Amino acid sequence: MTRKNLAGTKSELSRRAVLGAGAASALALPIAADAMPRPMPETWDETVDVVVVGSGFAGLAAAYEAQKAGASVVILEKMRTPGGNSLISGGVMSAAGSPAQAAQGIEDSPEQLYQDMLTAGLHLNHPELARIAAERSTETHQWTVDEFGAEWADELSHMGGHAVPRAYKTAVGSGAGVVVPMLETLRDLGIEPRTGALLKHIVRDDDGRVKGVEIREGYRFPDEDSGTTKLIRASRGVVLATGGFGNDIGFRMLQDPRLDETLDSTNQPGATGEALREAMAVGCFLVQPSWVQLGPWTSPDERGFGRAPLFVQLVTAAYGLWVSTETGKRFVDEMADRKTRADAILSQDNKVIAFCDGKGFEVAQQRLGDNLLEALLDSGVVRKFDTLDAMAAAYDSPLDPLAETISAFNASVDVGEDQEMGRYMQADQFRIETPPYYAVRLLPKIHHCMGGLAMDAEARALDVQTSDPIPGLYVAGEAAGGVHGASRLGSCAYVDCLVFGRIAGKNVAAHPVWR
């Protein structure tokens, strides 16, 4: 439904009234004033063409494209270091129909990636957005090489939910392999993210256009009162590349009440979502916020992503079992998709361990190396038990059902088919019977917010009243919603963030200047 302008009718109220009522009540009830829109400032402390908020993939890509198009650009980053979640991410990026695939004889296409994204997203993806991401994946991967000199390994990974191997991995094995070259290139162009710069307010004028931002300079996360106020006029526009709300417990519990304070996240601490709240307060439209992706392979006994996931996924899921410590029983196919497994763990009151036997631990030693395993054992994240009795006792778990669970699984191994949970059986699947046993507690952690602010194919933020673009406001990356629908595939965040960051940067640089 489109809605027409009614300005100029009787509904046009006296603007003078703002002075009287507004000023008086602000004194009487100042508590709520922070929640209300700001009036236009009389003067600005600084003027640039483009303000980019956030310095992860989306923000850096936007800044680069805007600068290349001739705009003056400022990047604001509230934390002490730039890079956001992108910096600490796993370093994998999908490219459909890539040169590496051609060299390895892998048939693939953007259409296939698009279909994979829709399947994972339960067809809730905004089709146009998902298609753009898929179609530009290979070109954008190449762009990281050509423009920034990002280094990628030759081998492609076959990530869960993808039809074929199509994920490049950075040479250094994390997002730093892209973020650092991008930061260096931008620095050479004279753009350095301003760290400790918190977005406080988006200045949206009565004409509907976003005209600048109010920030806190010298902000020290998470001290809300730190820093000093500064007003930056954005002559062309503002790009919100502020990430998700994974660490905003109140926000996420409204959208999924199961995600309470007992759940950690794999995100950097600054994923606190206040920029999204501010964006909605000035009229942005929130889409699909209840789809929050949890990683099922994380441990509550270490912070953030941690070291457990590789051990949990490659060893306990493939060669061990996941059981409820309350019942001693399995409750899910340990190789199912992320969402199925995370939901299943949550439904077990989070009383779950993943374990393997001594033979499984040998697999771990071969695949993961001794350093990682020593760190896991030293920190107590993984615990070693000489007997099954000892393991059951340590987790206050009933022994007999646990032993029965293992017997039943071993019978499945003997017949080559998981008769209980239908799990995919490894070629070298072996019986679980060789002490000692190694166990790790499981608790899902918030990993990615699929929902976010509504954007169109031009990365323009959409107005909650009209669904039309908000003049002067762009959004990209995890801050935006719709690309991934119900579930983001691994290695598709890089695509999303870089593709729409670039689109936002190009478009904001071409946005008409306001005077």
For the annotated catalytic residues, the residue numbers are 338
- Interacting span for its own copies (CB under 8 A) from 58-66, 138-146, 359-367, 460-468: 460-468
The answer to the question of residue 208 lying near its own copies (CB under 8 A) is yes
- Binder to its own copies among 19, 171, 189, 393 (CB under 8 A)? 19
The answer to the question of residue 34 lying near its own copies (CB under 8 A) is yes
Judge whether 232 and 67 are in contact, CB under 8 Å: no
Q: Using CA atoms, how far apart are residues 149 and 46, in angstroms rounded to an integer?
A: 33
Residue 205: partners with Cβ closer than 8 Å, 6 or more residues away: 40, 211
Q: Which of 263, 271, 327, 272 is nearest to 295 (CA)?
A: 263
Q: Give min distance, CB of 246 to its own copies, in A.
A: 12
Residue 382 φ/ψ, nearest 5 degrees? -105, 135
Give, as ranges, the residues between 52 and 91 that touch its own copies (CB under 8 A): none
Q: Give min distance, CB of 198 to its own copies, in A.
A: 11
The residue among 33 and 103 lying less far from its own copies, judged by its C-beta, is 33
- Binder to its own copies among 169, 200, 441, 447 (CB under 8 A)? 200
The answer to the question of residue 366 lying near its own copies (CB under 8 A) is no
- Interacting span for its own copies (CB under 8 A) from 88-96, 254-262, 300-308, 379-387: 254-262
- Binder to its own copies among 46, 207, 349, 374 (CB under 8 A)? 207
What count of other Cβ atoms lies within 10 Å of the Cβ of residue 207? 10
The residue among 35 and 427 lying less far from its own copies, judged by its C-beta, is 35
- Interacting span for its own copies (CB under 8 A) from 35-43, 77-85, 89-97, 401-409: 35-43
The answer to the question of residue 333 lying near its own copies (CB under 8 A) is no
- Share of the chain residues as helix, strand and coil, in percent rounded to the nearest 5: 35, 20, 45
Cα 493–499–504 angle (5° rounding)?
A: 120
The residue among 32 and 427 lying less far from its own copies, judged by its C-beta, is 32
Q: Which of 341, 343, 224 is nearest to 277 (CA)?
A: 224
Return the structure tokens found at 304: 């953030």
The residue among 310 and 464 lying less far from its own copies, judged by its C-beta, is 464
Q: Give min distance, CB of 217 to its own copies, in A.
A: 11
Q: Using CA atoms, how far apart are residues 138 and 115, in angstroms rounded to an integer?
A: 16
Cα 413–417–420 angle (5° rounding)?
A: 95
Q: Give min distance, CB of 374 to its own copies, in A.
A: 37
The answer to the question of residue 190 lying near its own copies (CB under 8 A) is no
Q: Using CA atoms, how far apart are residues 463 and 286, in angstroms rounded to an integer?
A: 10
The answer to the question of residue 427 lying near its own copies (CB under 8 A) is no
The answer to the question of residue 40 lying near its own copies (CB under 8 A) is yes
- Binder to its own copies among 68, 220, 277, 351 (CB under 8 A)? 277
- Interacting span for its own copies (CB under 8 A) from 65-73, 139-147, 236-244, 285-293: 285-293
Q: Using CA atoms, how far apart are residues 112 and 100, in angstroms rounded to an integer?
A: 16
The answer to the question of residue 283 lying near its own copies (CB under 8 A) is yes
Q: Which of 449, 68, 85, 421 is nearest to 252 (CA)?
A: 449
The answer to the question of residue 25 lying near its own copies (CB under 8 A) is yes
Residue 173: partners with Cβ closer than 8 Å, 6 or more residues away: 90, 91
Q: Give min distance, CB of 14 to its own copies, in A.
A: 5
Beta strands in 218-298 (DSSP E): 228-240, 286-287, 292-295
The answer to the question of residue 465 lying near its own copies (CB under 8 A) is yes
The answer to the question of residue 272 lying near its own copies (CB under 8 A) is yes
Q: Give min distance, CB of 231 to its own copies, in A.
A: 8
- Binder to its own copies among 75, 93, 199, 462 (CB under 8 A)? 462
Tell how strand 286-287 and strand 321-324 pair up: unpaired
Give, as ranges, the residues between 110 and 129 that touch its own copies (CB under 8 A): 123-127
- Binder to its own copies among 69, 281, 310, 403 (CB under 8 A)? 281
The answer to the question of residue 454 lying near its own copies (CB under 8 A) is yes
Return the structure tokens found at 360: 């499984």
Letters for 132-171 (x = contact with its own copies by CB under 8 A, - = none) are: ----------------------------------------
Buried-state track 475-497, b at ≥16 Cβ within 10 A, e below 16? bbbbbbbbbbbbbbbbbbbbbbb
Residue 290: partners with Cβ closer than 8 Å, 6 or more residues away: 255, 256, 451
What are the helix and strand counts (H, E) for the chain?
A: 19, 18
The residue among 34 and 414 lying less far from its own copies, judged by its C-beta, is 34
- Binder to its own copies among 148, 152, 168, 251 (CB under 8 A)? 251
Residue 228 φ/ψ, nearest 5 degrees? -125, 155
Q: Give min distance, CB of 56 to its own copies, in A.
A: 20
The answer to the question of residue 262 lying near its own copies (CB under 8 A) is no
- Binder to its own copies among 309, 471, 477, 501 (CB under 8 A)? 471
The answer to the question of residue 209 lying near its own copies (CB under 8 A) is yes
How many residues touch its own copies (CB under 8 A)?
A: 93
Residue 427 identity (one-letter amino acid): A
Residue 117: partners with Cβ closer than 8 Å, 6 or more residues away: 125, 130, 133, 134, 483, 484, 485, 489, 492
